[in-house]
Amino acid sequence: MPTVHLLDYVAGNIRSLVNAIEKCGWEVEWIRSPQDVEKAEKIILPGVGHFGHCLNSLSCAGYLPAIQKHITAGKPFFGICVGLQALFSGSAEAPSVPGLGLIPASLTRFSGSNKDGSKKSVPCIGWNDASTLHHDRDQDHQGEGRSFYGLNPGSKYYYVHSYFAPYVAGELEEQGWTVATATYGEESYVGAIGKGNIFATQFHPEKSGAAGLRVIKAFLEGKMWSDPIRASLSCTATASNGIPPNDAGTNGLTRRIIACLDVRTNDQGDLVVTKGDQYDVREKTAGSQVRNLGKPVEMAQRYYNQGADEVTFLNITSFRDCPITDLPMLEILRRTSETVFVPLTIGGGIRDMVDPATGKTVSALDVAKLYFASGADKVSIGSDAVLAAEEYYSAGGNLSGRTSIETISAAYGAQAVVVSVDPKRVFVSSQSETAHHTIKTDEPDAQGRGHVWYACTIRGGRETRDLDVVQLVKAVEAMGAGEILLNAIDRDGSNRGYDLELIDMVKSAVTIPVIASSGAGNPVHFDEVFRKTKVDAALGAGMFHRGEYTVMQVKEHLGQAGLLVRPFEE
Ligand code: 1PR
pLDDT-based confidence at residue 124 (cuts at 50, 70, 90): very high
Spell out where 129-204 has E strands: 132-134, 147-148, 157-161, 163-164, 178-184, 187-195, 198-201
Per CATH, 3-226 and 255-560 having the same topology is answered no
pLDDT-based confidence at residue 186 (cuts at 50, 70, 90): very high
Task: Name the nearest CA neighbour of 411 among 6, 7, 5, 13.
Answer: 13
Query: Which tops the pLDDT comparison, 321 or 8?
Result: 8
Could you tell me how many residues make up the chain? 570
- Please state the rounded mean pLDDT for residues 536-544: 98
Whether 414 contacts 341, CB under 8 Å: no
pLDDT of 95 higher than 80? yes
Spell out where 398-536 has E strands: 417-421, 423-428, 439-440, 451-458, 463-468, 483-486, 514-516
* Superfamily in which the 3-226 domain is placed by CATH: Class I glutamine amidotransferase (GATase) domain (3.40.50.880)
Query: Which tops the pLDDT comparison, 8 or 271?
Result: 271
pLDDT on residue 130:
95
Q: How far is the CA of 328 from the centre of ligand 1 (A)?
A: 19
Residue closest by Cα to atom 30 of ligand 1:
541
- DSSP state for residue 9 in the 8-state scheme: S
pLDDT-based confidence at residue 141 (cuts at 50, 70, 90): low
556 is catalytic: no
Which helix (H) or strand (E) covers residue 78, if one does?
A: strand 77-80
Query: Which tops the pLDDT comparison, 526 or 250?
Result: 526
pLDDT of 329 higher than 90? no
Q: How far is the CA of 465 from the centre of ligand 1 (A)?
A: 17
Cα separation, 256 vs 485, whole angstroms = 13
pLDDT of 133 higher than 90? no
Q: Looking at ligand 1, which atom is closest to the CA of residue 540?
A: 34
> Does the Cβ of 76 fall within 6 Å of ligand 1?
no
pLDDT-based confidence at residue 278 (cuts at 50, 70, 90): very high
Neighbours of 417 (CB within 10 A): 29
**28: which strand partners?**
4
36 is catalytic: no
Cα separation, 512 vs 192, whole angstroms = 24
Residue closest by Cα to atom 18 of ligand 1:
279
Average pLDDT, the chain: 93
Q: How far is the CA of 256 from the centre of ligand 1 (A)?
A: 19
Amino acid letter at 421?
V
User: Which among 54, 81, 124, 456 is annotated as catalytic?
Assistant: 81
Mutate to test the pocket of ligand 1, among 262, 279, 418, 535 (most ligand atoms within 8 A of CB): 262
Whether 211 contacts 152, CB under 8 Å: yes
Cα separation, 3 vs 38, whole angstroms = 15
pLDDT of 438 higher than 90? yes
pLDDT on residue 50:
87
Cα separation, 460 vs 273, whole angstroms = 16
pLDDT-based confidence at residue 245 (cuts at 50, 70, 90): low
206 is catalytic: yes
Cα separation, 531 vs 247, whole angstroms = 10
Domain coordinates in residue numbering, the chain:
3-226, 255-560
Mutate to test the pocket of ligand 1, among 261, 266, 329, 420 (most ligand atoms within 8 A of CB): 420
CA 533, 48, 335 angle in degrees (round to 5)? 85
Whether 112 contacts 165, CB under 8 Å: no
Residue closest by Cα to atom 23 of ligand 1:
487
| Residues near 243 by beta carbon (within 8 Å), at least 6 away in sequence | none
**164: which strand partners?**
108
pLDDT on residue 325:
65
Angle between helices 500-507 and 523-532 (to 10 degrees): 40
Q: Over the stretch 489-506, which tens digit does the pLDDT of each residue have?
A: 999 999 999 999 999 999
Q: Looking at ligand 1, which atom is closest to the CA of residue 488?
A: 31
81 is catalytic: yes
Amino acid letter at 54?
C
pLDDT on residue 269:
86
In the chain, pLDDT over 70 holds for what percent of residues?
94
pLDDT of 235 higher than 70? no
Name the least confident of 142-156, 163-177, 204-218, 227-241.
227-241
Cα separation, 427 vs 433, whole angstroms = 10
Q: Over the stretch 290-328, which tens digit does the pLDDT of each residue have?
A: 999 999 999 999 999 999 999 999 998 876 666 666 667
In the chain, pLDDT over 90 holds for what percent of residues?
82
pLDDT on residue 48:
81
CATH number, domain 255-560: 3.20.20.70
Q: Looking at ligand 1, which atom is closest to the CA of residue 350?
A: 2
Task: Name the nearest CA neighbour of 11 among 78, 74, 88, 83.
Answer: 83
Cα separation, 159 vs 157, whole angstroms = 6
- DSSP state for residue 562 in the 8-state scheme: T
pLDDT on residue 68:
96
Name the least confident of 10-24, 27-41, 522-536.
10-24
- The dihedral sign for the CA sequence 207, 213, 215, 221: positive
- Please state the rounded mean pLDDT for residues 517-535: 98
pLDDT on residue 568:
86
- Please state the rounded mean pLDDT for residues 167-188: 95
Checking ipTM against 0.90, whether it exceeds it is: yes
pLDDT of 139 higher than 60? no
pLDDT on residue 137:
61
Which helix (H) or strand (E) covers residue 345, if one does?
A: strand 344-347
Whether 537 contacts 517, CB under 8 Å: no
pLDDT on residue 229:
82
